[in-house]
Amino acid sequence: MTIAKGDTLPATTFTKMTENGPEQVQSQDYFAGKTVALFSVPGAFTPTCSAKHLPGYVDKASALKAKGVDEIACTAVNDAFVMGAWGKSAGAQDSVTMLADGNGDFVKALGLEMDGSKFGMGQRGQRFSMLVKDGVVQELNVEAPGDFKLSSADYMLGQL
């Protein structure tokens, strides 16, 4: 079953890269008591994700925060080392928290996984965004395969 507006996010564990190495982050702790603009990409360093998706949220971070977003987070089925390196290369360190969903547990729990095997990527997460308030999904924007419109920072800004 796919998550929907009004649903509470499932309890899962992300990993983020810190100065001291990988650190586990419990989803229920991360999303508690704040408004988070979360977006998911099929893979770090992939073309659309690197050219448009992550840079859009980096560029629009101030505008999103001015409209009530406390944090912006990016997740992908990649390990914390890759997500950390990608965030650093994109200049996202001060604006977007990179949350690795290394085994795909989060996207599976959401019902938003995809099979990227024909591209040599294995099981991944679909491209989507959501606005989460205190762990509850307020907005959910899932892209059709190959599209990039509904999960963009500009689209989310229009929802705030």
Residue showing tokens 């408004």: 35
Residue 73 near residue 38, CB atoms below 8 Å: yes
Q: Which amino acid is at 95?
A: S
Mind telling me the catalytic residues? 49
What pLDDT digit, counting tens, does each position of 55-69 carry?
Answer: 999 999 999 999 999
- Position 120 confidence tier, pLDDT thresholds 50, 70, 90: low
Going by C-alpha positions, the residue among 75, 122, 100 that lies closest to residue 22 is 100
From residue 8, give the alpha-carbon distance in Å to each of 12, 56, 136, 142: 12, 26, 4, 17
Q: What is the pTM of this model?
A: 0.92
Q: Domains along the chain?
A: 13-159 (3.40.30.10)
